[in-house]
Structure 1
Amino acid sequence: MPASPSTARAINDRLALRLLQQEGPLTAGQLKQLTGLSRPTVADLVERLTAAGLIEPAGESGEQRRGPNAKLYGIVADRAHLAALDVRTEGVSVLVSDLVGRVLAEASVPIGGDTGTGPAVEQAVTLVERAAKEAGADRLHTVGIGAPGLIDPASGELRDSTGLPAWHRRLVAALQERFPEARVNVENETNLAALAEQRDGAARDRDTFVLLWLGLGVGAAVVLDGTLRRGASGGAGEIGFLPVPGTTGLPSATDCDGGFHSLTGAAAVVDLATEHGLTAGAAGREPRAAALVREAVRRVGGAGRGTAGREEARSGEEAAHGGRAAAAGDAAGERRAMTGEGQPTAAGEGDHPPAGESGRAAMSWTGPDTAAAERFLDALADRIALGAAAVVSVLDPGCVVLAGEVGRAGGDVLAARVRDGLARMSPLATDVRPSELGGGAVLRGALLTARDRAQDELFAPPER
C-alpha cells in the first residue's frame, strides 16, 4: 500500500536531514540528485524544514553557472547542544558540542579516591556546567555518558556494584536534576569505544567485529551486522571471566581471577615482561604495562600503529581530552578495581594523561637485548590470541580491534602477532587491527550516541 502524503513527506524530510548531517551544507539541486526526488518535492521540503527551524541558508555554492549562485542549506547547528562524558575511577572528562557534532568546549577534572561521594558528584556536575557555559549553551538537549560497569538493559541505568565508586551511580541522577530538560543516557565505555571505531576508526569498513579492550582490566564489545549487542543482562563481552588454559585456577561468579583477565590484565602484562627480563622504571603518565609494551615495540623496530608520526599526533589529541593515568598495581589492587560483575572499572584507563597535562613522559628501561623484547611480545600475543580465539570460534566476527592502552601501545606490531596466533588456532580468517582513535574513543562514542539520539528526536515528524 502506498504511503500517505504526510508519511511520504516525513520520510523525505528525514532523508534530507540525514544527508545534510552526513554531507554538510547542500544546494536544493544537490539534494535532488542525492535523494532522487523531483525538483518541486525538494523545494517543498526545503521550505518546510526552514519554517520548522531545522535548516537555514549557509552561503552560496560558488558553482560556475548562469545567474545567481545556488543557496546552500545546512542544519541549524545551535538548535541543540549536547554533552559527552567519559567517567573513570579517577576523574571525568567532558566535551560540549552543537547538533552537528562540532566541539565547542572541553574540560576534565581529576577526582581522588579519598573524595567523598557528595563532593565527587559536585565536582563532576560543576565541570559539565562550566563546559556548557564556555560553549554558550543555555541548556543541554542530550547528555551521553561513558562509564565502566554493566548497564541494565531494562532500565538503561548503571547497575549497582561494590567495585565502582558510589559517585558514579549518583552522577547520572545529579546531572538529570541539574539539567532537568536534558535526556541523560549512560552506556558502557567499551561499547562506546566500539561504536566510535565503527563510525570513524579502525572498523569503519566492518559491519561485524569485536573490540577487545586491553587495559587495567580486559573487556570486549560485540558488533554484529552493524548493531551493538549487549546481551540479555547487559554483560556481553565480559571476557575477563573466560576460562582459559595457563591460569592457576578458574574464575568464579564474583572474581575473574583464573580467567582471561589473569593472563592479559595490566598486572599480568607487567609480570610477563619481568619473566622475560624486561623491567621499567618510572613510566611517567603512561601506565606501566603500556609503557613496557610500547618500549618493546620500539626495541624490535616497530612504531606502534604504523609510524611514529601518527602516534605522536594521537598523543596530542589525547592530551587535549585530558584524563588520568592508571598505575598497573598488583593483582589484589586490580581485583579491587573490578566491578561486582567483573567489568573492569578501568577499562581504557590510562589512555589520557592527567587532567591539565600533556605529552608523554620518558620511561627508563632495562632489558638484556632485542631478542627478549621479541619473546615478550610473542608471549603476550599468544595470550591475547587464546582469548580472542574463543570469541572468534563462537561469533566469527572476521575482525578484532585491539584497544585500551596496551592494545594501542602494541599497535600494528602486536596486532600482527595476534593475527598470526589466531591463524594457528582457528580456521576462521580474522583480521586483527589496532585502535585508530586512541584515548578519545570513549568520548567520541558518547558524543556520537548523544548526537544520534538528539537528531532522532528533533528530526522526527510532527504529530499530525
Structure 2
Amino acid sequence: MAASPSTARAINDRFALRLLQDEGPLTATQLKTLTGLSRPTVADLVERLQGSGLVHVVGESGAERRGPNAKLYGLVADRAHLAALDVRTRSVSVTVADLLGTTLAEASVPVGDDSDTGPAVENAVALLERTVKEAGADRLHSVAVGAPGLIDPASGELRDSSGLPAWHRRLVGVLQERLPAHVLVENETNLAAVAELRGGAARDREDFVLLWLGQGVGAAVVLGGRLRRGASGGAGEIGFLPVPGTSGLPSATGCDGGFHELACAAAVESLAATHGLTAAEALAGVGPATGAALGSGHAAFLDALARRLAIGAAAVVSVLDPGCVVLAGETGHQGGAPLAARVEAELAALSPLRTEVRATALGGAAVLRGALLLARDTAQDALFGARAAGL
C-alpha cells in the first residue's frame, strides 16, 4: 500500500533533518541531490521545517550565491539543550550541550568516600544546575546519566547493588523529580562503547567488545552495530568470569575470584608494585620526576598485565568472535597502544579466532561522550518524531 501524502511528508521531513544533522548546513539543491526529491517537494519541505522552528537559514553557499538555492539551512541548535553526567564512585562530571552536540559548559566535583547519600546527591544536582545556568541552557530537554552497575532492561532504572554507593541510585530519582526534562540512565561501559563506535576506536567496526578496565572491570558488547544488553541487562559482566590464576571462584554476590581479581585497578597497582613501580608510572612508561623511560621493568610489567587481560579477552572472543577488542577505562587509556599490542599477541596465542586489539581513542571522555550521544538521540527522536507526526 502506498504511503499517504501526510506520511510521505513526515518521512521526507525526518530524512532531511537527519541529513542536516549528519552533513551539516545544506542548500536546497544539496538536499534535493541527497534525498532524490523534486525541487518543489524540497522547497515545501524546507518551508515546513522552518515553520516548525527546527530549521533556519545559517548563511549562504559561495558557489551558488546568486541563486534562490544559495541559502544554507541548518538545524536550530538551541531548539533543545542536553546534559550528560558521568557518575563515578568518587566524582561527578557534567557536560551541557546544544541539539547539535556542541559543548556549552562543563564541570566536575569530587565526592568523598564518606559522603552521606543526601549531601552527595545535593552536590551532584547543584553541579548540574550551575553548569546549565552557565551554559545559558533554558531549554533542557534530555539528561543522560552514565553510572556503574546494571540497568534493568524493563524499567531502565539502575538496579540495586551492594557494591555501589546508595547515592548513585537516589541521584537519578532526584533528577527526575526536579528537572522538567527526560532523565535517562545507562551503564558507563555501554556508553563508552557507543562513543567508541560512533566516533572513537571502533568507528569502522560493526562488531566489537569493549573491555572496561578501571576500579571495576566490565565489558560492552556491540554486534551488528547495536549494543547488546542481555536478558537481564547484564551482558558483559566479565568481572564475575571464572578464570585461572585467582584465589578461588566468584559468587553471585561478589566478583572476588573472578576476572576482576586479575584486572581491576587494585590488582594492576599490586602487579606494578612487584616491578618496583606505581601503576601510573608503569602504564605510562616514564617516571614522574624525570620523565625518563622506565626500561625493562616497564616492559616486564606490560607483558605480565597483557597476559592477565588476554585470559579474560580470550573467553569473550571464543564465545562472540567480535573480531575487535577495545581496551578502555583508566588502564586501557593509560596503557595505550603498547598494552593493546601486547594483549593482541597474547590473545593470538590463546585463541584461533583472529582478533584485533585497540586502545581507546577517547580516554576518560568516553563515558560523557556516550551519555551526550544518548541525550542527543533522545531529544532528536522526540523533536523529529513530533515533526514527522505533524505535531
Using the size of structure 1 for normalisation, the TM-score is 0.81
Contact 1:91 1:110 in 2 (8 A): yes
Residue in structure 2 matched with residue 462 of structure 1 by the alignment: 389
Residue in structure 2 matched with residue 423 of structure 1 by the alignment: 348
Contact 2:13 2:45 in 1 (8 A): yes
Residue in structure 1 matched with residue 3 of structure 2 by the alignment: 3
* TM-fit CA distance, 1:279: 2.4
Contact 2:240 2:255 in 1 (8 A): yes
Seen in structure 2, the aligned counterparts of structure 1 residues 189 and 10 have a Cα distance that, compared at 3 Å, is: same
* TM-fit CA distance, 1:69: 6.7
Residue in structure 2 matched with residue 225 of structure 1 by the alignment: 224
Deviations 1:47-86 (A, max 9, x none): 1111111101111111156556700000011111111000
Residue in structure 2 matched with residue 215 of structure 1 by the alignment: 214
Which secondary structure does the structure 2 equivalent of 1:94 belong to?
strand
Letter in 2 for 1:379: A
* TM-fit CA distance, 1:380: 1.0
Which secondary structure does the structure 1 equivalent of 2:154 belong to?
coil
Partners of 1:23 and 1:56 lie apart in 2 by: 15
Partners of 1:104 and 1:19 lie apart in 2 by: 23
- Find out whether 1:265 has 2:192 as its counterpart: no
* TM-fit CA distance, 1:266: 1.6
Residue in structure 1 matched with residue 203 of structure 2 by the alignment: 204
Which secondary structure does the structure 2 equivalent of 1:57 belong to?
strand
Q: Comparing 188-197 with 122-131, which one deviates more in the overlay?
A: 122-131
* TM-fit CA distance, 1:187: 0.2
Partners of 1:65 and 1:142 lie apart in 2 by: 37
Residue in structure 1 matched with residue 255 of structure 2 by the alignment: 256
Residue in structure 2 matched with residue 332 of structure 1 by the alignment: none
* TM-fit CA distance, 1:388: 0.3
Structure 1 stretches of 4+ moved >4 Å: 64-69, 363-367
Residue in structure 1 matched with residue 374 of structure 2 by the alignment: 449
Q: What are the within-5 Å matches in structure 2 for residues 283-294 of structure 1?
A: 289-294=279-284
Residue in structure 2 matched with residue 247 of structure 1 by the alignment: 246
Contact 1:57 1:72 in 2 (8 A): yes
- Find out whether 1:24 has 2:24 as its counterpart: yes
Q: What are the within-5 Å matches in structure 2 for residues 268-279 of structure 1?
A: 268-275=267-274, 277-279=275-277
Residue in structure 2 matched with residue 113 of structure 1 by the alignment: 113
* TM-fit CA distance, 1:370: 2.7
Which secondary structure does the structure 1 equivalent of 2:317 belong to?
helix
Which secondary structure does the structure 2 equivalent of 1:279 belong to?
coil
Letter in 2 for 1:137: A
Letter in 2 for 1:400: V
Deviations 1:13-72 (A, max 9, x none): 111000101111100001111111111111111011111111011111111565567000
Letter in 2 for 1:436: A
Seen in structure 2, the aligned counterparts of structure 1 residues 205 and 46 have a Cα distance that, compared at 3 Å, is: same
Contact 1:278 1:373 in 2 (8 A): no
Q: Which has the higher contact order (CA 8 A, sep 6+)?
A: 1
Which secondary structure does the structure 2 equivalent of 1:445 belong to?
helix
Contact 1:291 1:363 in 2 (8 A): no
Residue in structure 1 matched with residue 170 of structure 2 by the alignment: 170
Seen in structure 2, the aligned counterparts of structure 1 residues 157 and 401 have a Cα distance that, compared at 3 Å, is: same
Which consecutive residues of structure 2, in runs of 5 or more, have no partner in the other structure? none
Letter in 2 for 1:13: D
Deviations 1:428-451 (A, max 9, x none): 111100000011110000000100
Letter in 2 for 1:237: G
Partners of 2:112 and 2:140 lie apart in 1 by: 27
Seen in structure 2, the aligned counterparts of structure 1 residues 387 and 29 have a Cα distance that, compared at 3 Å, is: same
Contact 2:216 2:239 in 1 (8 A): yes
Letter in 2 for 1:133: K
Contact 2:78 2:139 in 1 (8 A): no
Seen in structure 2, the aligned counterparts of structure 1 residues 274 and 92 have a Cα distance that, compared at 3 Å, is: closer
Letter in 2 for 1:70: A
Which protein is richer in helix relative to its size? Answer: 2
* TM-fit CA distance, 1:239: 0.5
Quote the RMSD (CA, aligned, Å). 1.8
Partners of 1:253 and 1:424 lie apart in 2 by: 31
Letter in 2 for 1:59: G
How many residue pairs match? The answer is 389
Letter in 1 for 2:176: Q
Deviations 1:352-398 (A, max 9, x none): xxxxxxxxxx368999x733322221111111111101100100101
Deviations 1:264-304 (A, max 9, x none): 112222222233x3223xxxxxxxx3432212xx59xxxxx
Residue in structure 2 matched with residue 325 of structure 1 by the alignment: none
- Find out whether 1:133 has 2:121 as its counterpart: no
Partners of 1:159 and 1:229 lie apart in 2 by: 17
Which secondary structure does the structure 1 equivalent of 2:185 belong to?
strand
Which secondary structure does the structure 1 equivalent of 2:204 belong to?
coil
Q: Comparing 60-69 with 439-448, which one deviates more in the overlay?
A: 60-69
Residue in structure 1 matched with residue 159 of structure 2 by the alignment: 159
Deviations 1:226-270 (A, max 9, x none): 110111111111001111111121111111111111111122222
Q: What are the within-5 Å matches in structure 2 for residues 53-452 of structure 1?
A: 53-63=53-63, 66-67=66-67, 70-179=70-179, 181-275=180-274, 277-280=275-278, 289-295=279-285, 298=286, 362=288, 370-452=295-377
Partners of 1:254 and 1:88 lie apart in 2 by: 21
* TM-fit CA distance, 1:408: 1.2
Partners of 2:151 and 2:295 lie apart in 1 by: 44
Contact 2:255 2:261 in 1 (8 A): yes
Letter in 2 for 1:384: L
Which secondary structure does the structure 1 equivalent of 2:113 belong to?
coil
Seen in structure 2, the aligned counterparts of structure 1 residues 175 and 273 have a Cα distance that, compared at 3 Å, is: same
Partners of 1:410 and 1:196 lie apart in 2 by: 19
Deviations 1:125-152 (A, max 9, x none): 1111111111112241100000111111
Contact 2:10 2:390 in 1 (8 A): no
